[in-house]
């Protein structure tokens, strides 16, 4: 989003569903990152994360929403970044994301309707079919965008998580209180 743009007001259905959300679960590649993998000569994998997404995750925590990572790939850098921004539930190497999501629900004692999910590719569709609210970045594959409850304006790794966080917090009615904590009102 460019400076001065505002997010659309949440529809009544989104508001109702967002108020039930206790957790936001995030895919990594294509959501927290732009989906590209960079390899060094020594074979190390590099990924880039958007700092605004990181703050969005921290704002969710301040607004009472826990955040988890659910990725089909395993990466030490993902674990480090997740821990750095306060994500305690990190599931990596999940070839079957539907089963991993079900296990997360059971482990945390959650109903599916209490969990929102951000995904960008076909591997995420089993979670879309189970979760209470689904989001897709602007550059998600077409089949995922079509099935998402909310299609985000931002691209993966470029503010999609921050936008999803703001949309959730606005729909829950807690955004203005969070902004006020930063002294933004003039």
Confidence class for position 47, pLDDT limits 50, 70, 90:
confident
pLDDT for 9 equals: 46
pLDDT tens figures, 29-39: 999 999 888 88
Task: Supply the pTM of this predicted model.
Answer: 0.89
Name all domains of the chain by residue range, CATH numbers in brackets.
17-174 (3.40.50.1000)
**Which range is least confidently modeled, 6-10, 105-109, 116-120, 132-136?**
6-10
3-state SS, the chain, equals CCCCCCCCCCCHHHHHHHHCCCEEEECCCCCCCCCCCEECCCCCEECCCCHHHHHHHHHHHHCCCEEEEECCCCCHHHHHHHHHCCCCEEECCCCCHHHHHHHHHHHHCCCHHHEEEECCCHHHHHHHCCCCEEEECCCCCHHHHHHCCEECCCCCCCCHHHHHHHHHHHHCCCHHHHHHHCCCCC
Mean pLDDT of the chain: 90
Report whether 35 contacts 143 (CB < 8 A).
no
pLDDT for 182 equals: 84
The sign one gets for the Cα dihedral 24, 27, 29, 30 is negative
Confidence class for position 6, pLDDT limits 50, 70, 90:
very low
Indicate if the pLDDT at residue 45 is higher than 90.
Answer: no
């Amino acid at each position: 989003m460019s400076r001065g743009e505002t997010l659309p007001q949440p529809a009544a259905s989104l508001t109702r569903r967002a108020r039930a959300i206790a957790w936001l679960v995030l895919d990594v590649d294509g959501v927290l990152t732009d989906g590209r993998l960079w390899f060094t000569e020594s074979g190390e994998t590099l990924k880039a994360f958007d700092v605004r997404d990181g703050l969005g995750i921290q704002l969710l925590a301040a607004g009472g929403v826990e955040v988890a990572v659910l990725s089909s790939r395993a990466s030490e850098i993902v674990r480090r970044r997740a821990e750095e921004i306060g994500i305690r539930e990190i599931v990596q190497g999940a070839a079957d994301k539907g089963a991993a999501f079900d296990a997360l629900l059971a482990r945390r004692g959650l109903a599916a309707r209490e969990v929102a999910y951000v995904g960008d590719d076909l591997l995420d569709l089993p979670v879309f079919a189970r979760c209470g609210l689904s989001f897709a970045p602007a550059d998600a594959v077409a089949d995922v965008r079509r099935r998402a409850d909310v299609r985000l304006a931002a691209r993966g790794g470029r503010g999609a998580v921050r936008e999803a966080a703001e949309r959730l917090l606005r729909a829950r009615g807690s955004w203005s209180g969070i902004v006020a904590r930063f002294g933004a009102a003039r």
